[in-house]
Amino acid sequence: MSQNLKKMLSYYKPYRVIFWADMFFAMLSAGVALVIPLVIRYVTYTLVYEETAVILQQIKVIAVILLAMVAVDCYSKFFISNYGHVMGAKIEYNMRAEIFEHFQKLSFTFYDNQKVGQLMSRITTDLFDITELMHHGPENIILSVIKIAGAFVILVNISPMLALAAFAVLPFMFAYAYWLNGKMRRAFRQNRVKIAEINAQIEDNLSGIRVVKSFANEEIEKEKFGLGNAGFLSAKKNSYHYMGSFQAGLGAFTTLIQVNVILAGTLLIVNGSIDVSDLVTFVLYISVFTDPVRTLIDFTEQFQNGYSGFERFCEIMSIEPDIKDSEDAAELRDVKGDISFENVSFQYEENAEQVLSHINLNVPAGAYMALVGSSGAGKSTLCSLIPRFYDVTEGAVKIDGKDVRGLTLKSLRDHIGIVQQDVYLFVGTVYDNILYGRPDATREEVTWAAKNANAHEFIMSLPKGYDTDIGQRGIKLSGGQKQRLSIARVFLKNPPILIFDEATSALDNESEKVVQDSLEKLAKNRTTFVIAHRLSTIKNAERILVLTENGIEEEGTHEELLGKGGIYEKLYSMQFHK
């Protein structure tokens, strides 16, 4: 916990000036709260017994002093509320930028085991509560400490016996608070988990809303959400149970302090130890004393909320990306495109079954290599090792003789273009999505890339041409149109190495032909890997590899493999002689 708190405090560093100004105005506000009862004591204890003329003269001075104090307190609270909140927002901005940047570094292995909605919760809900704590926490503490300490000194000076009666309750109050604190922390942490689960469920439902509606399964989705929502409500009830116990208990203790003071004060007045004005002042200061205690009660709830969020923030930030640049990583330059797999084995997780086992393969620069085989044979996995989306378990993948693990990730991936079956297009325009391939490209270069991808004609038929908004994930476009935009994106990138991962398998025959023409044009003079489901698309491949669970079972040209009468011939027959 101390390590996490130390890290949390480090976020104040860039805003030291605002932070200390915030603390200064918090102290001023606390000082005003302490002085006003003293003025009341002076009026009731001394001034009321003076001559009328003296009273009228001094009351003017007192009025000016009180108005000045009100003005100081007003500006202090404005500064705390305004600039303090801005400081909190800036800290939230920095933390959100930090966690987002960290998300970008984490590898596919991490995302394979995560839900997008839960990650969204880490970057939104959690951070809001963290920054609320980081803004209000220090000022609440300093306000409370100054008020409590100041009230304590004044109360002891007024009457040590009354002070003893008031503070006799405090040890029991603090013991009660400590006992419930741990329970509240666990309860609020469980709330975070449940909120993240609900966010994941909502994200999953909205992303698949078309599937939901096509199966008319809205009621089933409502039931699934209802279960998650019920879990959240249960967790909330649990945390509110402890919070209610905490607030009610401490509220009772603060009331008990006042009861003790009134009872003890009555006895002391009877004994002549104090007079009525002392008791009145003391009761006023008890209010000054108990208010910050209530503030600390609220702060405890805020702390539990914020700190549980910060723990989850630290959990994510502590995850080291398993794919990252080595200390002596070199830039990949002047790429020819020779790729070799040397005794490569791979498994996704420890103790899991191997997906690839002792693969040896040499692909010369400019070669057109096709990979076929049954689902699960490792075709996509093999290609994912080239851009280091995953690292080999054994062996090495090399480009131009250089182990990809010794290259910087950016320079490696800058030289590889990937066209997938499941095209992802970002919210925005056609132009924005093609430009993603090379953000510094000119409009003429974007148009050139679209023409080469056979996309220019359909783009110009859209309402606003290249400036047409395509909706979430390109929902306003057909499958073939989306695929051609993804090809245009890679054309613009202009990489020497290409990977086509079943890029045409989801298209109709007409769209497939147009896209296939675009892919053939793109593949010219580049080292190309084609993962194919439809064998008709790879007849012209220079070399075809047939992958099975045992590795590379067959290789050769289309004609050679048909002549062997092996696995490839059976796959081909299944597709074309049904």
What does 374-423 look like in DSSP terms, one character per residue? STTSSHHHHHHTTTTSS--SEEEEEETTEEGGGB-HHHHHHTEEEEESS-
The closest of 1, 308, 273 to 132, measured between CA atoms, is 308
Model pLDDT, residue 403: 92
**Longest C-alpha distance within the chain, in Å?**
123
- Low-confidence spans in the chain with pLDDT less than 50: 578
The per-residue pLDDT for range 252-264, each reduced to its tens digit, is: 888 888 888 888 8
Model pLDDT, residue 213: 63
Model pLDDT, residue 215: 61
Distance of CA 159 to the CA centre of its chain: 54
Q: 24: number of CA atoms within 13 Å, CB side?
A: 10
Residue 280 vs residues 127, 269, 389, 391: alpha-carbon distances, Å: 45, 12, 73, 75
What's domain 85-317's architecture?
Up-down Bundle (1.20)
- The 3-state DSSP composition of the chain as helix, strand, coil percent (nearest 5) reads 65, 10, 20
- Whether the full predicted model's pTM is greater than 0.85, yes or no, is no
The per-residue pLDDT for range 172-187, each reduced to its tens digit, is: 887 887 787 778 777 8
Model pLDDT, residue 402: 92
Give the count of beta carbons closer than 10 Å to the beta carbon of residue 359. 22
> Which residue in the block uniquely carries the two structure tokens 């915030």?
22
Residue 320 vs residues 4, 19, 102, 316, 384: alpha-carbon distances, Å: 17, 32, 9, 9, 20
**How far is the C-alpha of 151 from the C-alpha of 31, rounded, in Å?**
10
Whether the CB-CB separation of 487 and 520 falls below 8 Å is answered with: no
Phi and psi angles of residue 204, each rounded to the nearest 5 degrees, phi first = -65, -40
Q: What is the DSSP letter of 535?
A: G
Model pLDDT, residue 280: 76
Nearest 10 degrees: Cα torsion 525, 531, 537, 542? 50
Model pLDDT, residue 173: 81
Phi and psi angles of residue 9, each rounded to the nearest 5 degrees, phi first = -65, -25
Q: Which amino acid is at 28?
A: L
Of the chain, the end-to-end C-alpha distance in Å amounts to: 66
How is the chain split into domains, by residue range? Answer: 85-317
The closest of 283, 394, 383 to 344, measured between CA atoms, is 394
